[in-house]
Structure 1
Amino acid sequence: MLFDIRTIVGALLGCYGLIVLATGLFYDNDLQEAKTGGININLWAGIGMLVASVVFLAWVRLRPVQVPPTVDTTPDASPTAE
């Protein structure tokens, strides 16, 4: 489960989402909101990233990777056409 790409993507989205969310909560000013039409875009983008992170990590938990059974590669005793 650790090396599943969904785990890595979910963890990265979670980390970036927390950083962007904190930026939106603590470092928001009127100049930045004027650029986005009065919307605190960092706040909403951070929330969106955290939601996507939860979706990815839930996907990993609910649908784990199924490892196929191993194939027997020993040569069999059946005659071959030559």
Structure 2
Amino acid sequence: MAKQKKAGAFDIRVVIALLVGIYGVVLTVLGITGSKAEVEKAAGININLWGGIGMLVFAALFVLWARLRPIVVPDED
């Protein structure tokens, strides 16, 4: 009987979550520290802040998905 193990860090969903999360942190910091002139250019919406928060939520959902439904790889003898 073959033993099974999880893909773990090699799961593509974790890699995507990491990349989107890094961009989300950068955009969130830029949104918090940005100037009022940048906000006025975007019709009064702090798009960096909201985009960054959206990306962080997306990354968290991907990590949650990878944890709840892991990819199982059969172990070859």
What residue number does 1:16 align with? 23
Structure showing the higher helix proportion among its residues: 2
Calculate the TM-score normalised by the size of structure 2. Answer: 0.82
Per the TM alignment, residue 69 of structure 1 is displaced from its structure 2 partner at its CA by 6.9
Per the TM alignment, residue 34 of structure 1 is displaced from its structure 2 partner at its CA by 1.8
Q: How does 1:19-58 map to 2 (within 5 A)?
A: 19-26=26-33, 28-58=34-64
One-letter amino acid matched to 2:57: V
Calculate the TM-score normalised by the size of structure 1. Answer: 0.77
Q: Which has the higher contact order (CA 8 A, sep 6+)?
A: 2
Q: Indicate the RMSD between aligned Cα atoms, in angstroms.
A: 1.3
Matched residues in 1 for 2:32 and 2:69: separation?
A: 34
Matched residues in 1 for 2:27 and 2:73: separation?
A: 36
One-letter amino acid matched to 1:3: F
Structure showing the higher strand proportion among its residues: 2
Paired residue secondary structure (2:38): helix
Moved over 4 A (4+): none
Paired residue secondary structure (2:71): coil
- Unpaired stretches in structure 2, ≥5 consecutive residues: 1-7
